[in-house]
Amino acid sequence: MSFDYDLFVIGAGSGGLAASKRAASYGAKVAIAEGDLVGGTCVIRGCVPKKLMVYASRFSHLYRDAVGYGWEKVEPKFEWQKLVEVVNKEVHRLSEIHIKNLEKAGVELMRGKASFVDPHTLEIDGRKITADKILIAVGGHPIKPPEIEGIEASVTSRDMFHLTEFPKRLAVLGGGYIGVEFAGIMNGLGSEVTQIIRRDSILNGFDDDIRRNIQDGMSEKGIKFATGSVVDKIEKTAEELKVKISGDTNETIAVDAILCATGRAPNLAGLNLENAGVEVNKGAIAVTPDSNTSQPHIYAVGDCTDRLNLTPVAIGEGRAFADTVFGHLPRAISYRGVPTAVFSDPEAATVGCTEAEACQKLGDDVKIYRAKFRPMFHSLTGASDKVMVKLVVDQTTDRVLGVHMVGKDAAEIIQGMAIAVNMGATKKDFDATIGIHPSTAEEFVTLQ
């Protein structure tokens, strides 16, 4: 049977872009469909614009910290509309770069949302095409809990980059990394933030020392927490939003905006997967380790598979798919030892096992090395910011199983530590490494 394309990719996000260009480099005839800006969640409404806003939020602290170093105190003025404008301008610039890179790679871009007609046929805005192989890379989207009365008055993470007015008072629903990061951003920009979480602490699944130190740091910066609590009702008035909270906290607070950051789900609506016989498991596309779906010629990568929802992972999955199917170099990526960061304030990053995971597996054979201190930068500022560094070690083998950090530049430092962890470095290897002095990173090679 003759097909229009060797590969058709649905979704021009991180995974789809990586897969399409890699497949084209092997000589495949490739097309990709996207109904939104090219770049996906990361570029358009995730990692990139969020990190730019993180940078913006940190200047408020720098103005204050500078006084301790002899700079004259100033009263800075922040313009929300200006930040929104420049961030969105940068997003569009990056999207155009991705389009040009597709052109250079010889990948045809189709504007519109694709859906399945049958296992080998897709429809994009009324146009039908066929493909030998199909890759689904449609990502995910934020969801709102429907049981909360008035939840439609809240916004999601994708809306935060386009708010027309800066909320002087903000409620954040959810204690995951998205809620935590935006709470820090908006607090740094001058908003009065209240974060409402079901549990006693934020960032469920992270190492307990990371959770505790971030939450303490956020509290010291003025973020209020309603822990062990839920939102019962949201009432919209002409002037404000009223949020009724129950649980360990029983009160009604008035805010200007509510960020709902309670979860995300694969973006499968409108794909008509049933027409292609693609199986879905718990709301996500079911795949094998090599990203194959229930149909042998259809694959899926990234957040729509709900495996490990990180941009670099989606890129790795996409490239591994192309190498396997079109490069005839079979491989699958490993989900072990994947580093991750939370761009909160204070920042945190981690790689490997948490203390709890290691103890569950090894019991008393786990040894923890930990230090908490004021970084040198704050010796003159008077700020109470602290850094926490931690190693989780298997006493039997001396191997470092996990590395965790809370503090400035945590992501930059842990990226390098991830290499050591994945190579099987031991505590003796860390001890034998000469530190860079004075630096925060040297603490990892001096822990006793």
Report the CATH number that the domain containing residue 372 is assigned in CATH.
3.30.390.30
Instruction: Answer yes or no: is 138 within a domain.
Output: yes
Residues 159 and 223 in one domain: yes
Q: For residue 17, how many C-alpha atoms fall within 13 Å in the half-sphere facing its CB?
A: 26
Instruction: Answer yes or no: is 339 within a domain.
Output: no
Peptide bond before 296: cis, by omega within 30 degrees of 0? no
Residues 137 and 257 in one domain: no
Instruction: Answer yes or no: is 115 within a domain.
Output: yes
pLDDT in tens, 107-164: 999 999 999 999 999 999 999 999 999 999 999 999 999 999 999 999 999 999 999 9
Residues 254 and 217 in one domain: yes
Residues 270 and 258 in one domain: no
Instruction: Answer yes or no: is 340 within a domain.
Output: no
**What CATH number is given to the structural domain containing 321?**
3.50.50.60
For 119-267, list the strands marked E by DSSP: 121-124, 127-136, 140-142, 169-173, 192-196, 224-226, 229-236, 241-247, 251-255, 257-260, 264-266
What share of the chain has pLDDT > 90, as a percent? 100
At residue 260, the pLDDT reads 98
Residues 82 and 158 in one domain: no
Residues 352 and 430 in one domain: yes
Rounded to whole angstroms, the Cα distance separating 168 from 191 reads 5
CB-CB contact of 229 with 194 (8 Å) = no
Residues labelled as active-site residues? 437
Contacts of 269 (CB under 8 A, 6+ apart): none
Residues 253 and 276 in one domain: no
Number of domains composing the chain: 3
pLDDT under 70 in the chain at which residues? none
Instruction: Answer yes or no: is 123 within a domain.
Output: yes
Instruction: Answer yes or no: is 424 within a domain.
Output: yes
At residue 235, the pLDDT reads 98
Residues 428 and 311 in one domain: no
Alpha helix ranges (H) inside 174-260: 177-189, 208-220
Instruction: Answer yes or no: is 293 within a domain.
Output: yes
- State pTM to two decimals: 0.96
* Range(s) of the domain holding residue 421: 346-445
Instruction: Answer yes or no: is 341 within a domain.
Output: no
pLDDT in tens, 276-299: 999 999 999 999 999 999 999 999
At residue 1, the pLDDT reads 75
Residues 111 and 45 in one domain: yes
pLDDT in tens, 398-414: 999 999 999 999 999 99
At residue 218, the pLDDT reads 98
Residues 278 and 251 in one domain: no
Residues 291 and 196 in one domain: no
Buried/exposed code over 44-78 (b: 16+ C-beta within 10 A; e: otherwise)? bbbbbbbbbbbebbbebeeebbeeeeeeeeeeeee
Residues 303 and 191 in one domain: no
To the nearest whole number, what is the mean pLDDT of the chain?
97
Instruction: Tell me the three state secondary structure of residue 411.
Output: helix
Of 123, 69, 79, which Cα lies nearest the Cα of 382?
69
